[in-house]
Amino acid sequence: MKKIQPVKGFSKLSKQAKIEWLINNYSLQPDKALDTIQGYLHQDVSVQKLHDEFIENTISNFYLPFGIAPNFLINGQLYAIPMAIEESSVVAAASKAANFWLERRGFKTTILSTRKVGHVHFIWHGQNHETLFHFFENIQSKFYENSQAITRNMESRGGGIADLKLRDKTHLEPGYYQLEAQFETCDSMGANFINSCLESFAHTLQEEMATSALLEGDDRQLQIVMSILSNYTPECLVRVEVSCPVEEINEGSGIGNQEFAEKFCRAIRIAEIEPYRAVTHNKGIMNGIDSVVLATGNDFRAVEACIHAYAARNGSYRSLTHAEIVDDLFVFSMEIPLSLGTVGGITSLHPMVKFAHEILGHPNAQGLMQIVAAAGLAQNFSAVRSLITSGIQKGHMKMHLLNILNQLEATDEEKLKIVDYFKDHVVSFSETVKVFCEIRGISQEVFAARKGH
Ligand code: MEV
């Protein structure tokens, strides 16, 4: 490994200089690396400039496939859902579930609440705890007044500060209190709005305390630790449900309707009681959720962190979905927190994100929450259906076949022949190599030697 010196002022270098420094120091094949980096630059310089300015030190772009899962009937409206994801079977699975439920009255979704939350975390070692609460109540109006410049716009859209509370956390950490603020952020995810409000509250708190007539001496001292929104939003909740009579579950896998419904419910119960299964089960749900969140320009890291915390809210990590048979009705549902935006961030900047919003009919934030939740439930339905019937690998490997063929550098003609062969054979890497070598007329040993395997 080459000895590399740290670089100073990297962000100030031109893009070209950054690329040169990078590939000369870190790439074994600088020419090839340069081709790759440049090959992924956008041809339209204005689009490339947008990308360059989204983050620091952009040297190229990173593409993901942008797929469409059509036929999602949600509350009586038909959607074609955009998904940005690399995993081969996800869009196919979502589409399959969408078609299945299209015939069975579709997805029903409800927004349960839309509150966001943030905190000013501070330390106060004063003696009279009750006086602190009294002081806090007395200055409530100041928090609103002093943050007017930030909240005016949001208020005109129907949002703003919804509640302010003082929380005593001294049992967890000496002197630890929180100003807990709740917000309504309308169609924006609201991170910048919330953080700006919180920083204003922190300032007000400090200023008012320093001059408060209620507090004296050292009791006027507080230390602001930090002011930041919480990505845990258990009160920004959406519910999604599908249901049909058990006799209509007829999913064509060869097992009876009742048996299918019962097996399905048991699989969900296992994910409710067994964290090892729950994580994989919820990962499948996130396949659907993340891909729509990403395609619509939302913060998938925040969504992930929040949903997993929610899945563990009762002390153990559990399935996000639930299934039951109620009076011969199969009911499959999920309730999840989703803090999303349809304005702000990159929603009006990134051309593909703008397109994703367009094909969804420019939903508001609540509309998008419902679409994303439906994609998550659909994904889980398809995964569990495969798991309890044919197994997951049949469909998964069929979708993965093209990746294997691309890895083998098969021609289009070879691909057609091999895909045809696997219509009635089980896909595996070794079987694909075998068939590929037969079609190409070379031995597997020769192929391995050429590939350096
Ligand atoms: C694969 O990405 C997701 C699944 O493992 C989900 C599941 O097991 O439910 C198929």
172 three-state secondary structure: coil
Q: How far apart are CA 371 and CA 55, in angstroms?
A: 28
Q: Whose CA is nearest to atom 7 of ligand 1?
A: 281
What is the per-residue pLDDT across 257-271, written as a single tens digit (0 to 9) for each?
999 999 999 999 999
CB 237 within 8 A of CB 112: yes
Contacts of 193 (CB under 8 A, 6+ apart): 150, 154, 183, 185
pLDDT at 41 over 90: yes
Q: What residue spans in the chain does CATH classification 3.30.70.420 cover?
A: 116-230
CA–centroid distance, residue 389 to ligand 1 (Å): 14
Position 97, amino acid: A
CB 117 within 8 A of CB 169: no
Joined tokens for residue 277? 């299964």
Atom of ligand 1 nearest to the CA of 287: 2
CA–centroid distance, residue 428 to ligand 1 (Å): 18
What is the per-residue pLDDT across 176-210, written as a single tens digit (0 to 9) for each?
999 999 999 999 999 999 999 999 999 999 999 99
Dihedral-angle region of residue 209 (phi above 0 means left; psi in -120 to 50 means alpha; beta otherwise): alpha
Q: What confidence category does residue 84 fall into, taking pLDDT thresholds of 50, 70 and 90?
A: very high
Q: For the chain, give me the number of helices (H) and strands (E)?
A: 17, 10
pLDDT at 9 over 90: yes
Q: What confidence category does residue 452 fall into, taking pLDDT thresholds of 50, 70 and 90?
A: low
224: nearest Cα among 200, 246, 244: 200
268: nearest Cα among 332, 180, 204, 193: 332
Q: Could you say which of 3.40.640.10, 3.30.470.30, 3.30.70.420, 3.10.20.30 is the CATH number of the domain covering 116-230?
A: 3.30.70.420
Query: What confidence score (pLDDT) does residue 136 get?
Result: 97
Range from 20-34, 101-115, 329-343, 434-448 carrying the lowest mean pLDDT: 434-448
Half-sphere exposure of 390 (CA within 13 A, CB side): 15
Unique residue bearing structure tokens 């300015």: 53
CA–centroid distance, residue 283 to ligand 1 (Å): 6
Q: How far apart are CA 328 and CA 108, in angstroms?
A: 19
Q: Is the CB of 284 under 6 A from ligand 1?
A: yes
Range from 34-38, 101-105, 320-324, 447-451 carrying the lowest mean pLDDT: 447-451
CA–centroid distance, residue 92 to ligand 1 (Å): 13
Q: How far apart are CA 340 and CA 337, in angstroms?
A: 10
Full 3-state SS string of 106-163: CEEEEEEEECEEEEEEEECCCCCHHHHHHHHHHCHHHHHHHCHHHHHHHHHCCCEEEE
What is the per-residue pLDDT across 330-364, written as a single tens digit (0 to 9) for each?
999 999 999 999 999 999 999 999 999 999 999 99
| pLDDT, averaged across the chain | 95
Query: What confidence score (pLDDT) does residue 330 get?
Result: 98
Mean pLDDT of 436-448: 90
Q: What confidence category does residue 399 fall into, taking pLDDT thresholds of 50, 70 and 90?
A: confident
CB 170 within 8 A of CB 128: no
Core vs surface per residue 331-352: b (16+ CB within 10 A) or e: bbbbbbbbbbbbbbbbbeebeb
pLDDT at 253 over 80: no
Q: Could you say which of 3.40.50.720, 3.90.770.10, 3.40.190.10, 3.10.20.600 is the CATH number of the domain covering 68-112+237-390?
A: 3.90.770.10
Query: What confidence score (pLDDT) does residue 75 get?
Result: 98
Q: Is the CB of 396 under 6 A from ligand 1?
A: no
Q: How far apart are CA 84 and CA 143, in angstroms?
A: 41
81: nearest Cα among 444, 452, 370, 332: 370
Q: What residue spans in the chain does CATH classification 3.90.770.10 cover?
A: 68-112+237-390
Q: How far apart are CA 69 and CA 67, in angstroms?
A: 7
447 to each of 64, 427, 452, how far by Cα in Å? 30, 19, 9
Range from 80-84, 409-413, 422-426 carrying the lowest mean pLDDT: 422-426
Query: What confidence score (pLDDT) does residue 453 get?
Result: 56
Q: Is the CB of 121 under 6 A from ligand 1?
A: no
Q: How far apart are CA 266 and CA 388, in angstroms?
A: 10
Query: What confidence score (pLDDT) does residue 1 get?
Result: 67
* pTM of the predicted model as reported, rounded to 2 decimal places: 0.92
What is the per-residue pLDDT across 268-319, written as a single tens digit (0 to 9) for each?
999 999 999 999 999 999 999 999 999 999 999 999 999 999 999 999 999 9
Q: How far apart are CA 335 and CA 277, in angstroms?
A: 19
Give 250 or 113, the one with higher predicted confidence: 113
Atom of ligand 1 nearest to the CA of 281: 9
260: nearest Cα among 444, 384, 100, 443: 384
Position 253, amino acid: S
Element (H, E) at 386: helix 365-388
Q: Is the CB of 280 under 6 A from ligand 1?
A: yes
Joined tokens for residue 300? 């998938």
Mean pLDDT of 214-219: 91
Q: Whose CA is nearest to atom 9 of ligand 1?
A: 281
Joined tokens for residue 349? 């900047």
Mean pLDDT of 319-327: 98
Q: Whose CA is nearest to atom 3 of ligand 1?
A: 284
Q: Sort strands 116-123 and 176-184 into parallel, antiparallel or unpaired.
A: antiparallel
What is the maximum alpha-carbon separation in the chain?
Answer: 92
Mean pLDDT of 205-231: 95
Query: What confidence score (pLDDT) does residue 252 get?
Result: 74
CB 197 within 8 A of CB 205: no
